[in-house]
């Protein structure tokens, strides 16, 4: 059965909601599809905050400079300028919509995070910033009568006709059968793919389906080798890798080894506030040196009242695991956290396929370069979500509604085994990605990973399993291609950055990997 709407947005994190609100402002009908509940996204789990130039001692040039330094020479400068310049406007808009950022005596409170030269991080309810922003945006979206929020609607593929994206094929959440939804344009805001790795701070929904759908539809992918590993995920046996926010080190947290020694001074003069890739590799080196599987985050120099107020969610979660963050050293180790690469887009959210747009972590806009600056992700979702919503309206102005009454052909036919990644495939891919395509990489480990992925692909796979393996191959292939170390990509056989590799990797279905000077086109 075919359905019709004006526009489809896939994903209900910050980028998806902002795109939907922008489109609905024109009176157009927007269908927002999510594979879980509407509030379940990477955005909702963002603890540390959102970076924005609003404090008296900050300037746009400083925020831009910090972003460029963190990006290790691969940020597209125009994208960074857009992020910082427009970010302030959209944060003020969020406040107008009722987002309750933390204040002291009526004034916004800013905190420090790694690699920022100013205290410019806004947070909400201590360490629940993403949740508060998503709450306010869902409330705002529900005020728009032309936005339809459809949870538990798992999108399977994009519908491409005459090289244009004209809709999506998804599983009806009630009937549990495939349906085609036609539209004048589609915006992918499906987040990242942290669940490709054995240890991740991401929620279970972060399996990269949007990236895979776009790739199979023929869209170009960029910089897939650059994956950010968060240095401090709580490392307890038989428990998920709960994120211990960057802000904990920003507030004075110290990393110690098993002997209780502060060790970051041996690796970087910025100590705990070095960029995430450096802190993560330093922790790995220290764990190997001391023969342990964890280092420790020490917050005991701060009072219990301060820690409970500043990090309430973290405080209660640690308490659940019988840890008192005011008294105990917290066992931590790195975990996959964010994908800098993704669907190649211009600065207005356009992919290389007409009718297909994207925003947020699913994309590669050139904002993050080789390594994302802490707390720029929520800002990116707001700025580029709004831009994608605006450009899809502009581009669709002369496009007639798609004729329905037919099913259309999805890029890949529906599979009866569609409902998820099989447990066996998931376990094997996650293990290989962690061990061979993780924080430290080399030619042999990457080639062995690709060989294993080829073996997995030789079996009959469900749609979701195929997507999962394909994304893993894209990351491993790009990591093997880039013979240098830069940002989140570190090769033990090419340990330094190389100026000739100051290019972006581009991957497309049926084509060899290639290089591009700019992301935007």
- Residues with a known catalytic role: 276
- Cα Rg for the chain, rounded, in angstroms? 22
Instruction: Quote the distance between the C-alpha of residue 235 and its chain's center.
Output: 21
Contacts 24+ apart (CB under 8 A), 494-497: 497/72, 497/73
Q: At what angle do helices 129-142 and 77-96 cross, to 10 degrees?
A: 70
Note whether 355 and 159 are within 8 A (CB).
no
Show the beta-strand stretches assigned E in 252-346: 254-256, 295-298, 330-339, 342-344
- 374 token code pair: 């802490």
C-alpha 491/C-alpha 500 separation (Å) is 16
DSSP state for residue 23 in the 8-state scheme: H
Note whether 367 and 223 are within 8 A (CB).
no
Query: Smallest Cα–Cα separation from 74: which of 342, 370, 321?
Result: 370
C-alpha 63/C-alpha 84 separation (Å) is 7
CA angle (495, 496, 497) in 5-degree steps:
135
């Amino acid at each position: 059965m075919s359905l019709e709407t004006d526009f489809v947005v896939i994903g209900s994190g910050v980028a998806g909601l902002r795109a939907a609100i922008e489109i609905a402002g024109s009176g157009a009908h927007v269908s927002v599809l999510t594979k879980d509940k509407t509030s379940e996204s990477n955005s909702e789990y963002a603890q540390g905050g959102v970076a924005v130039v609003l404090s008296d001692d900050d300037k746009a040039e400083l925020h831009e400079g910090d972003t460029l330094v963190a990006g290790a020479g691969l940020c597209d400068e125009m994208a960074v300028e857009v992020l910082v310049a427009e970010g302030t406007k959209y944060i003020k808009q969020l406040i107008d919509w009722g987002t309750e950022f933390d204040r002291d005596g009526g004034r916004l409170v800013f905190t420090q995070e790694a690699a920022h030269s100013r205290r410019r991080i806004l947070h909400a309810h201590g360490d629940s910033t993403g949740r508060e922003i998503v709450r306010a945006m869902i409330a705002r979206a529900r005020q728009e009568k032309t936005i339809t929020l459809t949870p538990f609607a798992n999108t399977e593929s994009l519908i491409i006709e005459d090289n244009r994206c004209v809709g999506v094929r998804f599983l009806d959440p009630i009937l549990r059968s495939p349906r085609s939804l036609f539209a004048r344009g589609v915006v992918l805001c499906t987040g990242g793919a942290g669940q490709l790795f054995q240890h991740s701070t991401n929620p279970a929904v972060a399996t990269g389906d949007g990236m895979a759908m776009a790739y199979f539809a023929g869209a170009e992918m960029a910089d897939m080798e650059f994956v950010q590993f968060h240095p401090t995920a709580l490392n307890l046996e038989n428990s998920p890798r709960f994120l211990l926010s960057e802000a904990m080190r920003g507030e004075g947290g110290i990393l110690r080894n098993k002997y209780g020694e502060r060790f970051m001074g041996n690796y970087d003069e910025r100590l705990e506030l070095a960029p995430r890739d450096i802190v993560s590799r330093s922790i790995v080196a220290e764990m190997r040196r001391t023969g342990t599987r964890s280092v420790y985050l020490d917050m005991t120099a701060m009072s219990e009242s301060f820690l409970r107020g500043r990090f309430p969610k973290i405080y209660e979660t640690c308490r659940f695991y019988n840890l008192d963050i005011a008294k105990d050293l917290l066992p931590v180790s790195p975990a996959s956290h964010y994908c800098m690469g993704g669907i190649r887009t211009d600065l207005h959210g356009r992919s290389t396929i007409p009718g297909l747009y994207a925003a947020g972590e699913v994309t590669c806009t050139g904002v993050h370069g080789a390594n994302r600056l802490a707390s720029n992700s929520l800002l990116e979702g707001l700025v580029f979500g709004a831009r994608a919503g605006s450009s899809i309206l502009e581009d669709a102005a002369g496009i007639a509604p798609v004729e329905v009454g037919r099913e259309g052909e999805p890029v890949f036919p529906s599979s009866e085994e569609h409902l998820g990644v099989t447990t066996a495939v998931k376990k094997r891919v996650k293990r290989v990605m962690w061990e061979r395509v993780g924080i430290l990489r080399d030619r042999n480990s990457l080639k062995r990973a690709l060989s294993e992925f080829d073996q997995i692909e030789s079996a009959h796979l469900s749609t979701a399993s195929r997507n999962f393996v394909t994304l893993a191959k894209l990351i491993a292939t790009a990591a093997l291609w880039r013979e240098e170390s830069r940002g989140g990509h570190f090769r033990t056989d090419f340990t330094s950055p190389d100026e000739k590799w100051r290019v972006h990797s581009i991957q497309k279905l049926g084509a060899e990997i290639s290089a591009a000077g700019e992301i935007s086109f």
